Structure 1
């Protein structure tokens, strides 16, 4: 068990499960989990809207941009900003680091 821990890099719990599976079935089968990962919430279109809003207002702080997006949707009725209304300030900074935003 110690040898397998060191060589494979698996955790002790995972190795215990794999050994039990091998004893029960006589073989090990790799089970692929999700291939797509997380579903993308903000599209390139949303990131483009964010970049345009930043450009219009000379890239203010994240809190100000969040409020501007909320106003654009709630006060002025611009439905394009619907998904950006619920964005957190920290995720807004993450989107600013994305390739789509940089373009």
Structure 2
């Protein structure tokens, strides 16, 4: 299974307790599905510290409608706008010929 990923957002806090939150736009080439994947890692740096790691996937529309407007939301909106602006420009020039 090939997954194509584009990072939308990453936030790392630390150093005694490290917390990483990352969102990526993912295209699964086998199933032809496009979705957002959120990975959260929490590491306590002390000896014998514990590590918690969670991954969740969600539909693009669900991601965009969840509370708040994070840097990940803004990056996804920017990617979508650029994709559709490029497509609409191509369609317009095609229709004019």
TM-score normalised by L of structure 2: 0.24
Please state which structure has a larger fraction of its residues in strand: 2
Structure with the greater alpha carbon radius of gyration: 1
Please state which structure has a larger fraction of its residues in helix: 1
